[in-house]
Amino acid sequence: MPSRNIPSARLRRIGSALRQAREDRGMTIETAGRRYGRSTGWLSTLENGLHSVDRQELADLLDFYGVPDGPLWESLLHLASHKPGKSWERAYEGRISAAALDLAGLEEDTELIHNFEPCVVPGLLQTPDYARALTRVGPARPVRNTSTLVAFRMARQKVLTRPYPPRYVAVISESVLHHEIGGAALMRAQFGKLSEAAELDNVALHVLPNSAAAYLWLAGPFHLLSLRPPGNLTVSVIEQLTKSLFVEDEKEIALHEEIFSLLLNASLDKDASLKLIKRLASRV
């Protein structure tokens, strides 16, 4: 379990959402506490993820802040019902799923993101057309709202260019660069997006070359998100066939961090990765 006095990712997610809801209403924490009937200190520790809140009080707070019923409401109430330090699962759905909302919420509260993608371009680096091509394939049900899913993914990408963005370190398999998604023109644009992102100061894009393909057996796609203070907290998000698994256990996290280090060490450095991307782009 997380070390004592360190908030869980779940509580941090709830707290940051409540802070955003309060700020969206234009209220200071003092004003919110006075109107809601709670102390400033109580609201502050809640917003910082330092204490839990039960489902009913969370629902009351969301109602107080005017947060409408919908996926965000459902996601936060789900998180409130689970104990800190335990993994949680999120099923994939056709609309913007709770799993996607949880991941996006964690990204907003993160100072360092490690991401391994063996099959596709990372979501934070996809072009709209690439994302659209991906969301159009899959089982017939549930019905997907492609435009909504793509818009949501593009909105997530703003985290990399906001003021004080997180550092983003991505490892992608070289095979990803050879997969033709949606045709040559689409892939040229995607290569261009990767090249631009790779030159951002806060982005480190590494390619795991085909010569190191043996490392691909180590893991499927996953994220390691190290949240901003308070506390020293990392959560691992593992993408599975029909769900995402959110892991907080320190021993499991340590193993995931070791695996990412192995993948990173086997990958090309930033400059060599960028050269490979540009070379492949010239052949499309």
Residue stretches of the chain with pLDDT short of 70: 1-8, 71, 82-95, 140-144, 229-232
Helix axes 55-64, 9-24, angle to 10 degrees: 20
Domains of the chain: 1-86 (1.10.260.40), 90-281 (3.30.870)
- The pLDDT, as a whole number, for residue 244 is 83
The pTM of this model reads 0.76
Q: Supply the pLDDT for residue 48.
A: 85
Return the amino acid letter for 77: L
pLDDT at 82: 63
Q: Assign residue 171 a region: left if phi > 0, alpha if psi is -120 to 50, beta otherwise?
A: beta
Report the pLDDT value the prediction gives residue 257, as an integer from 0 to 100. 97
Residue 181: its pLDDT value, please? 93
Please tell me the predicted confidence (pLDDT) of residue 4.
41
pLDDT at 186: 96
Can you read off the two tokens belonging to residue 33?
A: 């506490």
Residue 121 has phi, psi (to 5 degrees) of -65, 135
Distance CA 270, CA 169 (A): 10
Per the document, the length of the chain is 284
| pLDDT one-digit tens code per residue, 188-214 | 999 999 999 999 999 999 999 999 999
Tokens representing residue 198 in the block: 């790779």
Quote the pLDDT of residue 95.
67
Write down the pLDDT at residue 3. 37
Instruction: Please report the pLDDT score of residue 1 as a whole number.
Output: 34
Residue 54 CA, chain-centre distance (Å), reads 25
Indicate the helix (H) or strand (E) that contains 171.
strand 167-173
What is residue 145's predicted lDDT score, i.e. its pLDDT? Answer: 79
